[in-house]
C-alpha cells in the first residue's frame, strides 16, 4: 500500500461549519451495510456514520459554480474495519476536488478504477488535491474522535456512487493492535 506525501497548511482550529441556511444530511451505519466486509452489528445499525454539512451553491448554477461542505465521520469499527464514507467517482471525471483535514485523523483513499490505489494521511491542516479520475473515500482511524474534512468541488462534477456500491474499493483498512493495516479486497 503506497502512502503518498500530504501537503499541509495551518489555520485556526477547531473548525466547525455552522450558521443559517446550511444543508445537512446524515448517513446511518446500517445504510452502509453492504460496503463493509462483515455484517453490521445490530447495536450499530441506527448510529450515525457521518454527517455532511454544506453551503448551498448559488443558483442558478453556471459552469464555474462551486460546492463547499464538511464531512464529520464518526469513529467506530465493524469487526475491526475502520469507519469510512461511501466513496464515489465523479460523474464527470474532468472535475477535480479539494479536500482538507480539519480535525481528527485518518486517510483519504484514491482509486483510478483500475490498478492505481493509494492513500494520503488526513490530519488537521492537511490538503488533498483530488484529480477527477480517482474515486475517493475517507477513513477514520482514530478510536474516539470525529474526523472532520472540508471539501470544495464544482457543481457539475456530479457523483457516481453506484460503481463503488457494486464492487467497493480494492483495499480495506483495519485496526490491528491499534495500528491501521491495509488488506486487499477481492473485486
Binding footprint of Fe ion on the chain (CB under 5 A): 97
Phi, psi of 164 (to 5 degrees): -70, -40
Choice between 36 and 89, CB closer to Fe ion: 89
> Per residue in 136-168, is it b (16+ CB within 10 Å) or e — as a string?
bbbbbbeeeebbbbbbebbbbbeeeeeebeeeb
Task: Return the residue matching grid coordinates 482550529.
Answer: 13
Ranked by CB distance to Fe ion, the top (closest) residue is 97
Distance (Å, whole) CA 87 – CA 23: 19
Query: 43's torsion region: left (phi>0), alpha (psi -120 to 50) or beta?
Result: alpha
Minimum CB separation of residue 96 from Fe ion in Å reads: 9
Question: Least distance (Å) from Fe ion to the CB of residue 151?
Answer: 7
Nearest-approach distance from CB 64 to Fe ion, in angstroms = 17
Of residues 82 and 153, the one with the C-beta less far from Fe ion = 153
Q: CB-wise, 97 or 120, nearer to Fe ion?
A: 97
Instruction: Give one word for 156, left, alpha or beta, with left for phi > 0 and alpha for psi -120 to 50.
Output: alpha
CB of 127 to Fe ion, least distance (A): 15
Using the minimum distance from each CB to Fe ion, give the nearer residue, 81 or 97: 97
Amino acid at each position: 500500500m503506497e502512502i503518498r506525501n500530504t501537503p499541509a497548511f495551518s489555520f485556526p482550529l477547531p473548525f466547525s461549519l455552522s450558521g443559517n441556511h446550511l444543508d445537512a444530511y446524515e448517513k446511518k451505519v446500517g445504510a452502509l451495510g453492504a460496503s463493509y466486509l462483515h455484517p453490521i452489528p445490530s447495536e450499530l445499525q441506527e448510529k450515525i456514520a457521518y454527517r455532511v454539512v454544506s453551503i448551498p451553491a448559488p443558483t442558478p448554477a453556471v459552469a464555474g459554480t462551486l460546492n463547499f461542505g464538511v464531512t464529520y465521520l464518526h469513529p467506530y469499527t465493524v469487526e475491526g474495519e475502520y469507519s469510512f464514507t461511501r466513496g464515489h467517482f465523479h460523474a464527470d471525471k474532468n472535475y477535480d476536488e479539494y479536500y482538507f483535514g480539519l480535525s481528527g485523523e485518518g486517510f483519504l483513499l484514491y482509486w483510478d478504477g483500475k490498478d492505481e490505489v493509494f492513500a494520503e494521511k488526513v490530519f488537521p491542516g492537511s490538503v488533498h488535491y483530488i484529480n477527477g479520475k480517482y474515486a475517493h473515500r475517507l477513513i477514520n482511524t482514530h478510536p474516539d474522535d470525529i474526523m472532520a474534512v472540508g471539501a470544495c468541488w464544482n457543481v457539475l462534477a456530479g457523483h457516481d456512487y453506484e460503481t463503488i456500491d457494486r464492487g467497493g474499493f480494492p483495499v480495506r483498512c483495519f485496526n490491528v493492535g491499534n495500528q491501521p493495516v491495509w488488506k486487499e479486497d477481492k473485486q
